Amino acid sequence: MKKEFLLSSTMLGVVLACSTAARSTTPKEDPFTSCTPPGANFLVTIGFDTTNHVPTVSASKNTACVMAGNNVGFQTDPNANITSWNVNFPTTTPIFTASCGFGSVNNGTSQACTVASNAGQGDYVYTVDVWINNGNTKYTLDPKVIIRASGKRHKHEKREKTPTAACY
């Protein structure tokens, strides 16, 4: 009986972790998955799906690596009727240079920040807040940006294990 309960609760944990409803809208850093070198800028277009009432992003995550000195930028879709928008990244480690304005509401059509030289390697889940309807209605989405560390791995550093289950 105990084995069945343990297996059932473990499977429930996997299901909840992978379900859309269980996703957090709090910026966080996930373990690094993968990206393709060399480093490249990553530009995201923010839109709005009026049928499902959710913000949209042109790519849910990058495939080319974003590294120190590259830019992560956002622009709004001119047809999306977005009044203002906001992008928040986790603040546990410095990801962008001090001049970055992410985290404050932006009424403009675009903004970009430069990845800091000491940015940690990881998958950064960020939140996108979008206000429509003359700024009266707020919606949130949480896609991610994969950042690869600029330094090379030393021989004594071990490669991270690949998880057996993944959520996309």
* Sheet of 122-125, strand order: 28-30, 122-125, 144-147
Is 125 a member of any domain?
yes
Show the domain range for 50. 24-147
Confidence of residue 135 (pLDDT cuts 50, 70, 90): confident
Q: Is the pLDDT of residue 35 over 90?
A: yes
Contact 137, 131 (CB under 8 A): yes
Is 29 a member of any domain?
yes
Mean pLDDT of 104-129: 93
How many domains are there within the chain?
Answer: 1
Task: Give the rounded distance of the alpha carbon of 64 from its chain centre.
Answer: 14
Residue 4: strand, helix, or coil: helix
Higher-confidence position of 16 and 43: 43
Is 61 a member of any domain?
yes
pLDDT at 25 (0 to 100) = 65
Is 163 a member of any domain?
no
Higher-confidence position of 157 and 46: 46
What CATH number should be reported for the domain holding residue 99? 2.60.40
pLDDT in tens, 60-114: 889 999 999 999 999 999 999 899 999 999 987 889 999 898 989 998 999 999 9
Is 155 a member of any domain?
no
Q: Can you name the residues that pair with 88 across neighbouring β-strands?
A: 127
Is 3 a member of any domain?
no
Question: E strands along the chain, which residues?
Answer: 28-30, 42-49, 54-57, 71-76, 84-88, 110-114, 122-125, 127-132, 137-141, 144-147
Is 13 a member of any domain?
no
pLDDT at 164 (0 to 100) = 32
Is 16 a member of any domain?
no
